[in-house]
A and B are shown apart, each in its own frame.
Chain A
Amino acid sequence: MTTTENTPTQEIGRDRRRKEDRRLITGRTRWTDNQALTGLLHISIVRSPFAHADIKGIDTSAAKQVPGVVAVYSAADLGADQVQLPCAWPITKDMKAPQRPALAGSRVNFAGEGVAVVVARSAAIAKDAAELVEVDYSELEPVLDMEEALKDGATLVHPEIGTNANAQWVFDSGEAGSGGSVAEALKKAESDDDQIIVRRRFRQQRLVPVFMEPRSTVVDPNAEQLTMWSSTQVPHILKTMLALTLGLPEHKIRVIAPDVGGGFGGKIAVAPEEVVTLLVAQKTGKPVKWTETRSESLLTAHHGRDQVQELAMSVTKDGRITGLDVRLIADMGAYLGLVGPGVPILGAFMFNAIYKIPAYRFDCTNVFTTKTLTDAYRGAGRPEATFGIERLMDEAALELGMEPLEFREKNWIKHEEFPFTTVSTLTYDTGNYEAATAQAKQMFDYDGLRREQQERRRRGDVKQLGIGISTFTEMCGLAPSRVLGSLDYGAGGWETASIRMQPTGKAEVVVGVSPHGQGHETAFSQIVADQLGVPFEDVEILHGDTQSSYKGLDTYGSRSLAVGGIAVVKAAEKVVEKAKPIAAHMLEASEGDLEFSGGKFTVKGTDKGVGIQDIALAVFAAHDYPEGIEPDIDAHATFDPENFSFPHGTHLCAVEVDTETGFVEMYKYVCVDDVGNVINPLIVEGQVHGGLAQGIAQALYEEAAYDDQGTLLSGTLVDYTLPSAADLISFDTANTTTASTTNPLGVKGVGEAGTIASTPAVVNSVLDAIRHLGVKDIDMPTTPYRVWTAIQNASGHAGRADEANVASPGAGLGSTARDMPEGGNL
């Protein structure tokens, strides 16, 4: 592109460093926990150590004696047991939704559930006194296994609803008319010598969305509006839900999400603690703060994933898929979260992935157990589905004796077939799976690594090489409001933006999405700079405070750019539109003779012009403007997408498996993602890197495990194994670009892509490395112990299998406390 002095360089496509990072990295910002209001009180929540128990009594007298304690409240004292925390996604008409209180009144249903709250002058005093609250529990049978929970006679988590089944949600392409009947396809395959049926059972383990900033809430009840600061992804939803849940007038509530240190879906919630903080603030008439500890966070903030998948695929011997049957059981935990029941259902649209599948059925049963509830976690439903199908594609290729990439290619949608309506009724607008795969293969040296793999096998090396593939797509940019309506979701999927032009020409852009680490301020500033032709530095993005950003649906589902960013574009277009008659007036020209470019209206064919920033000053002064219009070029826009966006990509992973120890080491990771047009390549790469780390972590490291009493074993970050940069490798990332046609920027979401794609690539590679030793499958995370045990079992050496479900008691301890004799050094 040629640039002249008057046309600033194009911002879109520049790899600008993030402008928000200076304050974030240097600790100059104010998080929720930094709010220090005069007279602030602190609370500590007393939590149940039992998974399932009746509460027989609570003795708060000792806690009340502690100097500095202001009050100790049981659930009933606050009315917290009468609250019904909202679930916004009733997936079926007959869905069973037990009451979810803010504090448990008569029964606790998971370990960590709050039963009382101590209010004190400092957080330390509150914590000291909380230890003195005596709760008399009568233990009930825990409900821990989601399959057992569905059987007749199982102990019920909520006896009052008569079942542990929350809902069953079914999609059948035969009934929907989008494809054939799977029952028939499988029946036909059974009696057809030219077809095979591949059946597999996969486990999606439970994960914790370990965000860096623990949750925190401050409520000030004293201003005209009740003000809540909260470390949340969803300030707007939270505000409306607080109004609906507590019967408060919505215009009397202000919610502020200041800078928020990560969420990954874990802060899409109306948390019981947010409500308790509010109730205590109302009761005491004082500002109140709650900040959780890391262990509290691991124990009680919602978890993610946790499914059993039973899959069956019929396929012809020459490699064409004829049917796919998906049966899921999904663990909801003890209650329904804000969108919890809908999370596995999002997978219904993604199991068919990039493939042309003529018959498809998806059948998911959600189950209650006495565990922490599950809800959205980065990818929400799509990683689970992508894992299922991409693992199954490898398994089917294996049974067919086909190269796994060739088998995929045989079934995927060709680039000339877009737009393509899938068997699960979505219409993919654009994509090019051939291009992404070709580039990934070349970057990876696919053929070279396959040769190396063969050589290592022949030599019988201790370290065997495995190659794993994941050719994924996903639906994101949540979401077309009409589609959400058809899925019985409780809200729409539009987004808003406003632009306020300052007298000095600066632009304040107010957005309804709510960033918590993604870099929206930078990317949106780049968009506005290009749209209005103003310098990047002249744009400020405001977000997260419902008083300034009064309307929005917040950030999740990789929606911020593909929906919120488009609202920004639309608002900018309106600013230009409103400025035009004023420019014409100032230039004494007719509107039809004006063109707008590089921030300036010019009269065609002349060098007469006026800049948008000058017009901002002119309407501020308002001394001279055309009659009949308002002296104002500010604008507001709402954008409701017509379709999702469908990023896709090919991820190739190579690992070395140490066959003597079972240790898996990353060897090479290549991903070529198609996320449409890219606003800021640096941010896109950052999102991909972080996404990969979390997806790889599911494959190799993370698991929220419970013991047979329903106690969470991974209650500290010593036990919940997170990888660091030292455990990962340098990723080779690249992009192919097919612009999305569902929005004017041609962008697709990127926030979840890496997480969705990478998990099956890694597990496929681990299995590929040791399959020749007889190993068939390994549950995630594929820890060294599990890998070694699988190799042992395959070679006929069964281990003693004395794996113990014990957790070390806490951070900073390498060993378990149960091992310690009396008088040990603790």
Chain B
Amino acid sequence: MIPAQFDYVRPTTVDEAVQALRDGGDDAKLLAGGQSLLPVLRLRMADPSLIIDLGGIPELKGVREEGNEVVVGAMTSHYDVTRDDTLRQHVALIGEATKTVADPQVRHRGTLGGALAHADPAGDLAAPALALDAQFVIAGSGGTRTVAAADFFEDYFTTAIGEGELLTEIRFPKYTGWGARYEKFNRVAQAWSIVAVAATVKVDGGKITDARIGLTNMAGTPVRARGVESALVGQSASEDTVRQAAQAAAEGTSPTADADAGSDYREHLARVLTGRAVLAAAG
């Protein structure tokens, strides 16, 4: 399919990108990996007059350690996220989730920043980011600001990134030594989640001492399963206790209903998958 006509610029610095956004006004659109934007353009669900390609900005790419944090540039591809040793060591959950995204072609093009900015409730990276208490660094004409994950996801396809702003990096606290599991449920391998559960837990002497759990596609935004988290802490990582704790997984969610799943089924899946994810993460 053919998108409507647009102008195209390719800045080489964040400042230039911000300037281009200001020049383009509300009819400009940022292009990261294009794996969500291009289908939208081709189906003519959007027809921006200006496309600002972030692919030429080196400072937006790559993973680095900064003290107690691991910082990922917004333009780091899914593929690079899955291959990064620093992330694997300190923030294992994000790589686990990223591995389940689509297929190798999409993972080579799509980016962490693009996926998070797109904020598709069925997308796989928002729930891990929420569970991990990531910080989002956003640049605009007034400089940069940092938004916590809990405040970043506002609604379906809607984030705290304002007009004229762009996401530059995502900062994850370190979870060194934590177990991680992304339990994704879909009908075929290369598809978005019907429901998924992102779990990372710290286990000490057979007991769960800390837990973070995020749910994908259980509302317009990712949802933190805090009831389950607190129920797990101090418990042994056994099948019975974990499954018991997982019963609270659907609390506070408001899942949608579609041909693949009714809302009651999604709630049920959230409970089942939470149990499985925590057990695998603890195992």
Contact = CB atoms under 8 A, between A and B. Distances in A.
Q: Which of A661, A815, A823 has the most CB of B within 10 A?
A: A815
A806 B43 contact: no
Interface stretch (B69-77, B87-95, B173-181, B260-268): B260-268
Interface string B21-44: 000000000000001101110111
B185 A661 contact: yes
B185 A663 contact: yes
Interface in A109-152: 123-124, 127-128, 131
Contacts of B157: 815, 820, 824-826
B: contact size bracket: 35 or more
A89 interface: no
A580 interface: no
Given A724-B190, A814-B193, A826-B46, A821 B158 contact: yes
A815 B220 CA distance: 9
B190 A726 contact: yes
Among B119, B192, B217, B264, max chain A CB count under 10 A is at B264
A679 B178 CA distance: 58
Interface stretch (B10-18, B57-65, B120-128, B230-238): B120-128
Interface string A787-826: 0110000000001111111111111111111011101111
B2 A802 contact: no
B272 interface: yes
B9 interface: no
Contact of B122 (A295, A802, A815): A815
Given A802-B263, A803-B259, A809-B45, A701 B187 contact: yes
A127 B40 CA distance: 16
Interface string B116-144: 01111111000000000000000000000
Contacts of A726: 188-190
Contact of A814 (B103, B123, B257, B269): B123
A801 B259 CA distance: 11
A804 B1 contact: no
Contacts of B84: none
Given A805-B259, A820-B157, A810 B265 contact: no
A467 B151 CA distance: 50
B188 A803 contact: no
Interface in B79-105: 103
A7 interface: no
Interface residues of A, number: 53
Nearest to B121: A815
Nearest to A801: B262
B273 to A, nearest CB: 8
Interface in A39-79: none
B19 interface: no
A68 to B, nearest CB: 11
B204 interface: no
Interface in B145-180: 155-159
B125 to A, nearest CB: 11
Contacts of B46: 826
Given A661-B272, A663-B185, A788 B158 contact: no
Nearest to A811: B39
Given A293-B1, A803-B262, A721 B187 contact: yes
Contacts of A789: 262, 265
A784 interface: yes
Contacts of B256: 804, 815-816, 819
A727 interface: yes
Given A293-B1, A803-B262, A814 B120 contact: yes
A97 interface: no
Given A814-B121, A819-B121, A824-B155, 14 more contacts: A128-B5, A131-B44, A663-B185, A721-B191, A789-B262, A789-B265, A800-B263, A808-B258, A812-B35, A812-B38, A812-B40, A814-B122, A815-B122, A820-B158
13 contacts: A660-B272, A661-B185, A705-B259, A788-B265, A802-B257, A803-B258, A804-B262, A806-B259, A810-B43, A811-B43, A815-B157, A825-B157, A826-B46
